[in-house]
Amino acid sequence: MSMSESVTQETIQKTADTFKVLSDPTRIRILHYLCQKEASVSDIASGLDLKQSTVSHQLRTLKLYRLVTHRREGTSIYYTFKDDHVMQTLEQMIDHIEE
């Protein structure tokens, strides 16, 4: 769909809500980390020097907006970036800012 085509109000609202979720620096850090590899809460927490409770809270929000997914392996849960389009957009935005 091109930008000139009609977009429903619901789609516009969901897009705005997703951008709000992506406006949090901690969530961006977590998503950027998950761009590199699948990881558990403890992996993310230690890799980003965050509290596990902070990571868990942010992952709940990211799951709610379908930006991450998870799989269980034994007693561990591993998270991955779910949406390739959003991943590419995030990477492009970071590249743009770093230019």
According to DSSP H, which parts of 1-99 are helical?
9-22, 25-36, 41-48, 52-64, 84-98
Q: Let me know: does 50 contact 26? Beta carbons within 8 Å.
A: yes
CATH number of the domain within which 76 lies: 1.10.10.10
6: pLDDT confidence band, cut at 50, 70 and 90?
A: confident
Mean pLDDT computed over 7-26: 92
pTM confidence score: 0.85
Give tens-digit pLDDT for 38-61: 999 999 999 999 999 999 999 999
pLDDT at residue number 10: 93
67: number of Cβ within 10 Å: 22
**Domain, as residue range, for 77:** 9-98
Q: Could you tell me how far CA 65 lies from the centroid of its own chain?
A: 9
For the chain, give the longest Cα–Cα distance. Answer: 48
Mean pLDDT computed over 15-26: 93
pLDDT at residue number 3: 58
91: pLDDT confidence band, cut at 50, 70 and 90?
A: confident
Residues with Cβ within 8 Å of 44's Cβ and at least 6 positions away in sequence, in order, are 30, 33, 34, 50, 55, 59, 79
The pLDDT mean for the chain works out to 91
Any domain includes 92: yes
pLDDT at residue number 4: 54
pLDDT at residue number 2: 56
Q: Please give the tally of structural domains in the chain.
A: 1
Tokens 């709000």 belong to which residue? Answer: 20
Q: Let me know: does 81 contact 34? Beta carbons within 8 Å.
A: yes
Any domain includes 22: yes
